[in-house]
Chains A and B, each alone.
Chain A
Amino acid sequence: MTTDDKKHAGDSILEKPVSRRDLLRLAGVGGAGLLLGASGVGAIFGAKGSTALGAAKPSSEDQIDFYGKHQAGITTPPQDFLMFASFDLTTNSIDDVRKLFKSWTEASAAMAKGVMIGEVNDNPNLPPTDTGEAAGLNPSKTTITFGVGPSFFDARFGLASKRPAVLADLPAFGGDELREEWCGGDIGVQVSANDMQIAFHAIRNLARIARGKAVLRWTQEGFQRTGGADSAGATPRNLMGFKDGTGNPDTKDEAVMNEVVWAQSGDGTPWMAGGSYMIVRRIRIRVEVWDRSTLGDQEATFGRHRDSGAPIGSKKEFDPVDLSRKDGKGKPLIPVNSHVALARGNGSVKILRRSYSYSSGMDNRTGQFDAGLLFICYNRDTRKQFIPMQQKLGQMDALNEYIVHNGSAVFACFPGVREGGYIGDTLL
Chain B
Amino acid sequence: MKTKLAAVMLASAVVFAGCGSNNNGADQAKEASTNTEQSASKVENWDEITGQYRDFALDQTDKLVAETDKFVQAVKSGDVETAKSLYAPTRMYYERIEPIAEALGDLDPNIDARENDVEEKDWRGFHRIEQSLWVNNTTAGAEDYASQLLDDTKTLRALIETVEVEPSLLVTGAVELLNEVSSSKVTGEEERYSHTDLYDFAANVEGARKIYELLKAELNKQDAELEGQIGTSFDNLEQALATYKSGDGYVSYTDLKEEDTKKLSQLLDALAEPLSQMGTILGA
Report the Cα distance A212→B274, complex, angstroms.
Answer: 9
Report the Cα distance A215→B236, complex, angstroms.
Answer: 14
Residue A51 lies at the interface, judged by CB distance under 8 Å to chain B: no
Selected contact of B279 from candidates A90, A126, A213, A215, CB within 8 Å? A126
Per the 8 Å Cβ criterion, residues 330-383 of A in contact with B are: none
Chain B residues, CB < 8 A from A120: 284
Query: Are A126 and B266 in contact (CB-based, < 8 A)?
Result: no
Residue A125 lies at the interface, judged by CB distance under 8 Å to chain B: yes
Query: Are A125 and B171 in contact (CB-based, < 8 A)?
Result: yes
Report the Cα distance A213→B269, complex, angstroms.
Answer: 11
Query: Are A124 and B266 in contact (CB-based, < 8 A)?
Result: no
Closest 5 CB pairs of A and B: A211-B273, A125-B279, A212-B270, A124-B35, A126-B279
Per the 8 Å Cβ criterion, residues 105-157 of A in contact with B are: 120, 123-127
Residue B261 lies at the interface, judged by CB distance under 8 Å to chain A: no
A96 to chain B, nearest CB (A): 10
Chain B residues, CB < 8 A from A211: 269-270, 272-274
Query: Are A127 and B276 in contact (CB-based, < 8 A)?
Result: yes
Query: Are A90 and B171 in contact (CB-based, < 8 A)?
Result: no
B232 to chain A, nearest CB (A): 8
Residue A102 lies at the interface, judged by CB distance under 8 Å to chain B: no
Query: Are A208 and B273 in contact (CB-based, < 8 A)?
Result: yes
Report the Cα distance A90→B233, complex, angstroms.
Answer: 11
Most buried by B among A90, A123, A211, A215: A211
Chain B residues, CB < 8 A from A208: 273
Query: Are B273 and A212 in contact (CB-based, < 8 A)?
Result: yes
Per the 8 Å Cβ criterion, residues 169-194 of A in contact with B are: none
Chain A residues, CB < 8 A from B18: none
Selected contact of B266 from candidates A123, A125, A215, CB within 8 Å? A215
B residues with CB within 8 A of A? 35-36, 39, 168, 171, 229, 232-233, 266, 269-274, 276-277, 279-280, 282-284
Chain A residues, CB < 8 A from B280: 125-126
Q: Which residue of B lies closest to A209 (CB)?
A: B273
Q: Which residue of B lies closest to A88 (CB)?
A: B266
Query: Are A90 and B270 in contact (CB-based, < 8 A)?
Result: yes
Chain A residues, CB < 8 A from B232: 212
Q: Which residue of A lies closest to B280 (CB)?
A: A126
A104 to chain B, nearest CB (A): 15
B203 to chain A, nearest CB (A): 23
Chain B residues, CB < 8 A from A215: 266, 269-270
Selected contact of A125 from candidates B168, B229, B274, CB within 8 Å? B168
Report the Cα distance A211→B269, complex, angstroms.
Answer: 7
Chain A residues, CB < 8 A from B277: 126-127
Report the Cα distance A85→B266, complex, angstroms.
Answer: 16
Query: Are A124 and B36 in contact (CB-based, < 8 A)?
Result: yes
Chain A residues, CB < 8 A from B276: 126-127
Chain B residues, CB < 8 A from A123: 279, 284
Report the Cα distance A324→B270, complex, angstroms.
Answer: 59
Query: Are A212 and B229 in contact (CB-based, < 8 A)?
Result: yes
User: How many A residues touch the partner, as a band?
Assistant: 10 to 19
Extra contacts besides A125-B279, A212-B274 (10): CB < 8 Å: A125-B35, A125-B39, A125-B168, A125-B171, A125-B283, A126-B276, A127-B277, A211-B273, A211-B274, A212-B233
Chain A residues, CB < 8 A from B36: 124-125
A343 to chain B, nearest CB (A): 37
Chain A residues, CB < 8 A from B168: 125
Most buried by B among A90, A120, A126, A208: A126
A418 to chain B, nearest CB (A): 27
Report the Cα distance A120→B233, complex, angstroms.
Answer: 23
Report the Cα distance A333→B168, complex, angstroms.
Answer: 75
Report the Cα distance A133→B223, complex, angstroms.
Answer: 28
Report the Cα distance A414→B279, complex, angstroms.
Answer: 36
A124 to chain B, nearest CB (A): 4
Chain B residues, CB < 8 A from A212: 229, 232-233, 270-271, 273-274
Per the 8 Å Cβ criterion, residues 202-249 of A in contact with B are: 208, 211-213, 215
Chain A residues, CB < 8 A from B273: 208, 211-212
Report the Cα distance A124→B6, complex, angstroms.
Answer: 13
Query: Are A125 and B282 in contact (CB-based, < 8 A)?
Result: yes
Q: Which residue of B lies closest to A124 (CB)?
A: B35
A sample of 18 cross-chain residue pairs with beta-carbon separation below 8 angstroms, ordered by A number, consists of A90-B270, A123-B279, A124-B35, A125-B35, A125-B36, A125-B168, A125-B171, A126-B276, A126-B277, A126-B279, A127-B276, A211-B274, A212-B229, A212-B270, A212-B271, A212-B274, A213-B270, A215-B266
Report the Cα distance A330→B97, complex, angstroms.
Answer: 83
Chain B residues, CB < 8 A from A127: 276-277, 279
Report the Cα distance A123→B276, complex, angstroms.
Answer: 13
Most buried by B among A125, A208, A212: A125
A180 to chain B, nearest CB (A): 10
Query: Are A125 and B284 in contact (CB-based, < 8 A)?
Result: yes
Report the Cα distance A125→B277, complex, angstroms.
Answer: 9
Report the Cα distance A90→B283, complex, angstroms.
Answer: 31
Chain A residues, CB < 8 A from B274: 211-212
B219 to chain A, nearest CB (A): 13
Report the Cα distance A226→B39, complex, angstroms.
Answer: 48
B115 to chain A, nearest CB (A): 26
Q: Which residue of B lies closest to A207 (CB)?
A: B269
